Structures are given as structure tokens and as C-alpha cells.
Amino acid sequence: MAKKDIVLTGDRPTGPLHLGHFVGSLQKRVELQDKYKQFVMIADWQGFTDNFDNPQKLRDNVTQVMLDYLAVGIDPKKTTFFIQSLIPQIAELYFIYLNFVTVSRLGRNPTVKAEIQQKGYGENLTAGFLTYPVHQAADITIVKGTLVPAGADQNPIIEQSNEIVRKFNSTYNVDIFPEIKIVESAVSRLPGTDGKAKMSKSMGNAIFLCDTEDVVAKKVMTMYTDPDHIKVDMPGKIDGNTVFAYLDVFDTDKQMVESLKAQYQAGGLGDVKVKKYLIEVLNNFLEPIRLRRNEFAQDKEAVLDIVIKGSEQVRCIAADTMLEVRKAIHLDYI
């Protein structure tokens, strides 16, 4: 990947971030900020698509998300933070892009289909939610992003973005927008504490980066393991066992993890003992993040100021991009 690559990534401000976010993209953002020009967006417009009846929730969580970003080590000296709704050019580009994708194509996007089913929208599906992948294409390309750190489940979104980019460039015989690639983390998805495939705020199965030691302990003790492992001396299954899935990701002592797996599979190791070990591992991992978060939280105005100033920088970049776009579509009146 060449130095000219630009990273664009972000999260919806629907609540604090969790361990799934960390392994899916936050960890990668910390790494990429030393290699490329990186933009991190707080996607409040995208959050609006399924929180339009509670916009205050989005407003309140902007600072919470920023605290998580700073706490995990995303550095404002290396990364430009911005708020999606403060860049009006994104909405302008989104409107233009809507003409380059059909309704049927939007409906076939597997990521969107899965979310529609999960949220149970049915006939109540809004146009805003159906078209959010188009908005994401505008988010990325307004700064001419080429790399997006994300899980494999986001591949359909990036594929659709590239379809739009290709069609725009070919329609007007220009080369304004580069194609986009996903940068996948070693662990693209972390299961929820209930054993379901994905950790999610809305599903109530998440461990948040800001959770206290006691809260982490309570959540781990309710974790899904092997339902057939009724007695300690019975052999247990590792596959699908959420506790071991977390140990694989967060325990740096891989030899210990393999030893625990062998004991569990042979029989003689209880779920409670393994869970207590995981509690220790997770709290050791989260403690420095909690400390940094609490430090930044002492001055929330300064935290908000970081993303406000970053938004001002991005508006200038976005304005330049839209000058090129308007020239390409022959609507550059002034």
C-alpha cells in the first residue's frame, strides 16, 4: 500500500464503544495512523437513520465515542476526527450518488438485508436506512479515501461503494475518485456474550470499553459456554464456547489458553473457573483504557473541541472535492 493511501473510518454515536469495535477496527486505526493520512468520522447522520425519533441520544454520545477513541490510543496529532453532519458536502455527494444505484441493487446488499431482518423493519423500512450504504460511499470518497479498516461483514458496503465510484468516473470520463479497499483485522468479529455471532449494543450482549471491573465480571459470569458441560468432570466443547473465543483474542499467554482448552476438553475444568480467569484477563486489558478515558473525561470541552476543529479541516477538503465533482457534472455555475 502506497503512502498516498488515505484511511477513512468511523462509528455511529449510539453509545460507548465495545470490545467488538476494538478488535474489528479500533486496534487497526491505532496502527494505521502511523502509516497513512487517517480520518475518523463520528457518523451521526448514519445513526440518525434508525434513531431519528431520539436525536438527543446521538448528540449526547458524540463525546462518549471521542473518549473511547482517545482512550484506545487514536492520536489527534496523527488522526483527523470529524462529525459527519458538520460536513454538508457529504450530503450533497450522497444525493448525486443516489442516481448511480438502483433500488433493487440496494435491496440486494447482504449487509443491509441482515440489518433489516435483525431490526424487524418489514414495511416500516425507511428510505434513509435503505440508502445508508450510498451515504457511506460519500463519507469515504469526500476525502478520497482508499482504505477502510473494518470487519469482513462490511465487504458488501465497500463493493457497492466501488460500483458507484466506477460508474461516476466512467459516466463523466474522469478519474476523481479512487477505488476503496478494506483493511481487515486479524479478528474481524467478536461474538456477543450470549454466544450470538456479533457483539452489538442493540442486542444487549456487549462488554464496553468503559465498563467497570464489577460490570465486566457480571457480564462474563453470564457468558455462553457449552450447554452440555453440566458437571466439572464432563468433557467440554471449545467450538462455539464464547469464553474461549475471548481468551483467544485477549489473553497474551497463549500457552495458558491452550492448557485450559486441553483441560476443559478432557474434563475436570469447570466453567466458573475459566470465567474467573477471563474476568482477570479482560480487566487487565481494559484497565489502562479506563484510566486514560477517565483522564480525558476531566475536560470534555477540550475533547469536543478536537472533533470540532477536525471538522473545520475536513470541510475545506470536502469543498475542494465538490468543486471537482460539480465541474465533472457541468453544474459549476460559479
Q: Any idea where the domains of the chain sit in the sequence?
A: 6-190+299-328, 213-293
**For the domain 213-293, what is the CATH code?**
1.10.240.10
In this predicted structure, what is the pLDDT of residue 188? 65
Task: Give residues with Cβ within 8 angstroms of 36, minimum separation 6.
Answer: 1, 3, 5, 6, 7, 147
Over the chain (334 residues), what is each successive 10-residue block's mean pLDDT?
75 90 90 95 87 88 96 97 96 96 88 78 82 93 94 86 96 96 81 85 89 97 90 90 94 95 92 95 97 97 97 97 97 88
Dist. CA 249–CA 229, nearest whole Å: 22
Which residue, 152, 160, 134, 125, is CA-closest to 25? 152
Domains 6-190+299-328 and 213-293 share a fold: no
With beta carbons less than 8 A apart as the criterion, state whether 84 and 42 touch.
yes
Instruction: Decide yes or no: CATH 3.40.50.720 for domain 6-190+299-328.
Output: no
Dist. CA 23–CA 184, nearest whole Å: 10
Dist. CA 279–CA 247, nearest whole Å: 10
In this predicted structure, what is the pLDDT of residue 196? 82
User: pTM of the prediction?
Assistant: 0.90
In this predicted structure, what is the pLDDT of residue 1? 42
In this predicted structure, what is the pLDDT of residue 2? 44
Residue 334 three-state SS: coil
Q: How far is residue 209 from each of residues 15, 31, 104, 316, measured CA to CA in Å? A: 11, 18, 38, 33
Burial class for 91, CB neighbours closer than 10 Å (0-12, 13-18, 19+): middle
In this predicted structure, what is the pLDDT of residue 279? 97
